């Protein structure tokens, strides 16, 4: 079984998938399907509001990519967001640097897009950085992968492996 620190949100920012790695990382927290990101035990109401704004920005501002490309981008891209969970365990808060990618979904799903969120690193909860403000930004890898020209190593790999399907082909 995979212990990837990954979760997927729908267009309403509700949990579709919460990976086993996230359950372990956030001390057993396992939100039921349909839980809104705003309902999670986040560090503060300000952080929750900034996180929701950042995720909405990702939904409206980023190009959606095929799920294989989204997974590759999530694995290889630099983190572009911070998620800070409040007191999930005796050890204290959990702050994660994550990569957010917007992915196309099969036609059978009610929504057009999902957000794939993959944690790359757990950092000290009292650490400060520009990312602690939960400002979403496309990373270099995501920009390269979703560029109009289709250039870049990941786009080339996807093209050679036949995984660059459009929404109509899903």
- pLDDT 10s digits, 58-115: 999 878 898 888 888 888 888 889 999 987 566 678 889 999 999 999 888 888 899 9
Tell me the β-bridge partners of 122: 96
Distance separating alpha carbons of residues 153 and 170, to the nearest angstrom = 23
Instruction: Decide if pLDDT at 24 tops 60.
Output: yes
Sheet containing strand 113-123, edge to edge, reads: 15-18, 6-9, 113-123, 92-104, 81-89
pLDDT band at 32 (very low <50, low <70, confident <90, very high): very high
Distance separating alpha carbons of residues 113 and 99, to the nearest angstrom = 16
Q: What is the pLDDT of residue 110?
A: 83
Q: What is the pLDDT of residue 88?
A: 59
Q: What is the pLDDT of residue 140?
A: 46
Q: What is the pLDDT of residue 144?
A: 47
Instruction: Decide if pLDDT at 160 tops 80.
Output: no
pTM exceeds 0.95, yes or no: no
Among 80, 64, 83, CA closest to 22: 83
Q: What is the pLDDT of residue 3?
A: 80
Averaged pLDDT, 32-44: 93
Helices (runs of H) and strands (runs of E) counted in the chain: 5, 5
Higher pLDDT, 164 or 102: 102
Instruction: Decide if pLDDT at 162 tops 70.
Output: no
Distance separating alpha carbons of residues 9 and 59, to the nearest angstrom = 10
Instruction: Decide if pLDDT at 35 tops 80.
Output: yes
Interval 111-159: pLDDT, tens? 889 999 999 888 766 655 444 445 555 554 455 454 444 445 555 545 5
Instruction: Measure the CA angle with vertex 44, ends 40 and 48; round to 5°.
Output: 55
Q: What is the pLDDT of residue 80?
A: 87
Q: What is the pLDDT of residue 150?
A: 42
């Amino acid at each position: 079984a995979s212990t990837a620190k990954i979760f997927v949100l729908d267009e309403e920012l509700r949990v579709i998938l919460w990976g086993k790695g996230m359950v372990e990382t956030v001390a057993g927290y396992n939100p039921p399907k349909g839980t809104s990101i705003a309902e999670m035990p986040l560090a503060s109401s300000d952080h929750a509001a900034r996180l929701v704004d950042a995720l909405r920005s990702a939904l409206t501002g980023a190009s959606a990519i095929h799920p294989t490309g989204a997974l590759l981008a999530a694995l290889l891209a630099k983190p572009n967001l911070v998620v800070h969970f409040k007191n999930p365990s005796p050890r204290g808060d959990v702050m994660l640097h994550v990569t957010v990618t917007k992915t196309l979904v099969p036609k059978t799903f009610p929504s057009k897009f999902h957000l794939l969120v993959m944690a790359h690193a757990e950092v000290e909860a009292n650490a400060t950085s520009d990312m602690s403000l939960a400002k979403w930004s496309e990373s270099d890898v995501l920009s390269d992968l979703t560029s109009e020209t289709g250039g870049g190593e990941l786009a080339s790999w996807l093209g050679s492996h036949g995984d660059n399907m459009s929404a109509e082909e899903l």
